[in-house]
Structure 1
Amino acid sequence: MLLIIAIAHATLWVVATETTQIGRPLGGTLVDDVTNFFSTLFVANRGLPLFALLFGYGLAMMVRRQTESGMLERKSKQLIRRRALFLILFGIIHAVFIGGIDILFVYGISTFLIGWILFKKDKVLTHALVFMSLFFVIVLPIIWVIFSVITDIANVETPSRGSLTPGTYVEALFYNVINLPIGMLGQLVMYPMLLTLLIGVWAGHRNLLDAKLHRNWLKRMAIIGTTVSIVGALPLALISVGMWITTPQMEGFMTFLQIITGIAGGLGYMGIFGLIGSSVKQAGLITRSLQALGRRSLTFYVFNETMLVILLSPVALGLGASLHSTGALLIALFVWLLGLVIATIMAKKRIPGPLDFLLRKLVYK
C-alpha cells in the first residue's frame, strides 16, 4: 500500500509544465510512456482508495472492539473525535512544514464528517452509501468534463506539483498554507473520498478481511475489482501516452471513469492482500518485514513523503527537475525499500513507529 502511494506521489514532483488531468507528466521517452501507461492502470487513484478503504475498515473495527469491551458510546465517540482532531494536526504539520503530499488532513476532516455513522444501524450506513454513490456518479463526471473544457478553452496546461512549488523553503511555507484547504476541498469534491471511506466502514462491519469467514468474498473482490479497475482506467491510459486523441469532453469523462473505478481497484487490492495474508503459513523475512512496515504505516507514510520532498522537491535536492516518470518510479521504490529496512530493524529491536505511538498516546490520553 505504501509503495503504491509513494509511486503515485513521486511522479507529481517531476517538474513538468504539462501533465494529464490526474497529474502524470506528459512526454519523455518510450520507457516513460510505458511507465505512465501501467501507472495509470494500476497505481494512479488506486493506492489512495485502498488506504481510504482500510482507514474506514479500521474505524469500524475500532468501534466494534470498544463496544464489545463495554465502553460507553459517549466515550467511544470522544475517542473518534480525538483521533480526527490529531490527524488534522498531523496533516497540517506534514503538509505545511514538511511539504509532503498529504492525506492525513483530509482523513481527519472526513472522520468528523462521517464519524457519527459508525454508531448508527446498518440501514443508515446503506442510505448514506446510496446517497454518496448517486452524488458522485452524477456530479463527478460533470465536474471533470467542465474542468477539461475550461482548461482547453483557456489553453492552460495542468502543471505538476514540482512545477508549482517555490524554490525556497520560506516561499514554500506560504504556498503550502494556501494550498492545504484548497487541496482538501479538491479531494472531497473531485474525488470520491467519503464514499470510499463509507465502503470501508461497510466492509469493517462485516469483517470482510477475515479470510476464514469470507474467502469467497475476497476472491470476488480480487477478480471483479481488479478487472473493473483495469477496464475503467484503460481509456485514460491510452490518452496519456497519445494512443488515443480525443475531445476535451471525452478526456474529462475518461478521467472521471479512471477515478471512480479506482474504488474497485482499491477493493481488488484489498482482496488480493487479504488472500495473500491468509495463505502465508510461516512468516519468513519478507513477510515479517512487510508486517513491520504495516504496523508502522503512519510513521513510514510520513517518512516516504519526507524523503520524496528531500530528493525531488525544488526546495531540497530538486531531482524532479532532471527526472521523468521512470526516474520518479525508481526513486519511490528506493525510498520504500529504505523504509522497509528501517521498519524491519525497528521490529527486531521492538521499537514502535514514533508517529503511530504518539497518535495512540494522544488519542487515548
Structure 2
Amino acid sequence: MSAVPAHAAARVTAGAATPSATARVRSLAPDLARGAMLLLIALAHAHMYLYGHERGFRGYSLDGSPVDRLVAGLQVLLVDGRALPMFAALYGYGLVRLADRWTATGADWPEARRMLRRRSWWLVAFGFAHALLLFFGDILATYGLMGLLLVGMVRAKDRTLLRVAGLWTVVYVSLASVTALTIIENGSTPYPTDAESLLAGVGARLATWSVLAPMLALDVVTPFLLGMWAARRRLLDEPGRHHILLTRIALVGITVTVVGGAPLALIDARLWTDWSAAAAVPAYALHSVTGIAGGLGYAALAGLIAHRRTAAPGRVVTALAACGQRSLTCYLLQSVAFVAIFVPYTGALGGRLGDAGASAVAVGVWFATVLIADGMRRRGRRGPAETLLRRLSYRPVRPRPQT
C-alpha cells in the first residue's frame, strides 16, 4: 500500500468527510465476488442446521443417501474450506481500500486506524447478536477479530505481508492436523441446532460461537493478508490491467483446490471407507491449506468475469453485484431464513432433510436474497445492516492543521 499522503489536495470540513460523502464509481469485481461468495456461504452453512445425524470430518451426515453423499463430496471438494478463505481475502482487500478512501478525505493514519478498529469492534458486536439469536457459526465476529488484530498490517511492507502469510500457512497446516486428530479420536462435535426453543438454544449457541469465532480467525490469516497485498495492486478494481495475473491465479488456485480437496472429499462422500488416521490427517490438512488457493482462485475468477462484463454487465451480473454491495444484509437474511426453515421450533426441516435437501434450500435462499438485493438496488436503497454499521463506525474527519 502506498504511504499515507503528507497533505491532501483539498481539505474537507468536519461532518462531510466520510467515504460515502465522496462520489465514486464502485468497482464491479469486488461486489460480484461477494455476491457469488454468498452462494458458497449458504451451501457451507445450510447442512450445519441438520440434526439427528452422526457427522464426518466436514460436518456432513454419515448416514445419508447416495445423493446426499454425492452432494457432500462435491461441497467438500469445491465449497467447504474454500468460501471462508475467499471471504477473508475479500475482507482484507476491502479493509485496505476502505483505509485508502478514508485517508483520501483528509484523515491521517491514526484517524483511519481508529475508524477501522471501531468498525471491527462493531462487527464483533454484530457477530455476538447473530450467534445469540440465530447461528452459532457466525463469521462476522471472526472478521472483526481479524480487523482488530491485524489492522497494523495495512501499512506493513509487501515483504512483511508475504512473509507473515507464508509462515502462518505452516502454522495453519499444524492446526488443521490437530483438528483432524481430535475429530478422529472424539468424533465431530454436535452442532447446537436441535434446541426446542429460541431461548433453550442460547447457551449452546454462544458457547460454540465463543470457541469457533477465534478458531476461524486463526484459519484465515493467510488469505486475509494476501487480500491486503492484492488490494495494494488494485487487482479487482482494475482487472483489465491485471488480466494475465488474475487468469493465472484462477487457473492455478482452482486446480490446486480440486486436487488437494479430493482425498477428503472421497472420505466424507464415503467412497473411501478403509482410510486410516495416517491417511486422514494429511488429507484433512491438505484440504485445508489448498482451500486458500481455491478462495483466491474464485476471487480472481470473479475479477475476470467483471472485466468481460463491465461495459454491459447484464441483469444477472448486476443482480449479483447488488447482492455483493449488500453482503452483510444478505448474509444475515440467510440465517433468518435457515432458522425459519430448519430448526425444531419453526419449520423443523433440519430433522427431516439430508445434505442434498439442505443444499437445495441453500440455493433457493441465496437466490431469494439476490432478488431482494436487486429490488433494493432498483429503489436506490442500501442494505439496512450496511447502513447501521456505517452509522455506528464512521465519525467526521477532523480537519488537519494547515501548514
TM-score of the aligned structures, taking structure 2 as reference length = 0.84
| 1:250 alignment counterpart | 279
| 1:2 alignment counterpart | 38
Which of 347, 357, 364 is 2:377 aligned to? 347
| 2:213 alignment counterpart | 184
Shift of 1:329: 0.8
Q: Distance in 2 between matches of 1:142 and 1:159?
A: 16
| 1:299 alignment counterpart | 329
Which of 266, 269, 275 is 1:238 aligned to? 266
The structure-2 alpha-carbon separation of the partners of 1:145 and 1:295, relative to structure 1 and needing over 3 Å to count, comes to: closer
Which of 181, 186, 206 is 1:146 aligned to? 181
Which of 190, 197, 202 is 2:224 aligned to? 197
1:128 equivalent to 2:152? Answer: no
List per-residue Cα deviations over 1:23-44 (Å, max 9, x = no partner): 1122222211211111111111
Shift of 1:66: 2.7
User: What SS is found at the alignment partner of 1:251?
Assistant: helix
Shift of 1:288: 1.7
Q: Distance in 2 between matches of 1:246 and 1:33?
A: 17
In structure 2, runs of 5+ residues without a counterpart are 1-36, 396-403
In structure 1, runs of 5+ residues without a counterpart are 152-156
Q: Distance in 1 between matches of 2:180 and 2:203?
A: 31
Q: Distance in 2 between matches of 1:186 and 1:113?
A: 14
8 Å CA contact retained: 1:24, 1:36 = yes
| 2:346 alignment counterpart | 316
Q: Distance in 2 between matches of 1:172 and 1:261?
A: 34
Give 1:202's aligned amino acid: W
Q: Distance in 2 between matches of 1:348 and 1:311?
A: 28
Which of 235, 242, 247 is 1:219 aligned to? 247
| 1:154 alignment counterpart | none
Give 1:292's aligned amino acid: A
Aligned residues: 356
Q: Distance in 2 between matches of 1:335 and 1:149?
A: 33
Superposition RMSD in Å: 1.7
Q: Which has the higher helix share?
A: 1
Q: Distance in 1 between matches of 2:177 and 2:371?
A: 45
User: What SS is found at the alignment partner of 1:231?
Assistant: helix
The structure-2 alpha-carbon separation of the partners of 1:6 and 1:303, relative to structure 1 and needing over 3 Å to count, comes to: same
The structure-2 alpha-carbon separation of the partners of 1:287 and 1:145, relative to structure 1 and needing over 3 Å to count, comes to: closer
Shift of 1:80: 0.7
List per-residue Cα deviations over 1:156-193 (Å, max 9, x = no partner): x425526x54222111112122222111233234xx21
User: What SS is found at the alignment partner of 1:101?
Assistant: coil
8 Å CA contact retained: 2:223, 2:296 = no
List per-residue Cα deviations over 1:183-232 (Å, max 9, x = no partner): 1233234xx21122111111111212121221011100110000000001
Give 1:74's aligned amino acid: P
User: What SS is found at the alignment partner of 1:243?
Assistant: coil
Alignment of 1:1-365 (within 5 A): 1-99=37-135, 101-137=137-173, 139-151=174-186, 157-161=187-191, 165-189=194-218, 192-209=219-236, 210-244=238-272, 245-280=274-309, 281-365=311-395
User: What SS is found at the alignment partner of 2:242?
Assistant: helix
- Decide which structure has the larger Cα Rg and report it: 2
The structure-2 alpha-carbon separation of the partners of 1:40 and 1:169, relative to structure 1 and needing over 3 Å to count, comes to: same
Shift of 1:130: 3.0
Q: Distance in 1 between matches of 2:96 and 2:195?
A: 40
List per-residue Cα deviations over 1:18-66 (Å, max 9, x = no partner): 1121111222222112111111111111111111110001011112233
Give 1:97's aligned amino acid: L
8 Å CA contact retained: 1:218, 1:274 = yes
The structure-2 alpha-carbon separation of the partners of 1:225 and 1:23, relative to structure 1 and needing over 3 Å to count, comes to: same
8 Å CA contact retained: 2:176, 2:288 = no
User: What SS is found at the alignment partner of 1:347?
Assistant: helix
8 Å CA contact retained: 1:22, 1:255 = no
Q: Distance in 1 between matches of 2:41 and 2:91?
A: 14
User: What SS is found at the alignment partner of 1:23?
Assistant: coil
8 Å CA contact retained: 1:147, 1:252 = no
Give 1:25's aligned amino acid: S
Q: Distance in 1 between matches of 2:331 and 2:378?
A: 20
User: What SS is found at the alignment partner of 1:207?
Assistant: coil
TM-score of the aligned structures, taking structure 1 as reference length = 0.93
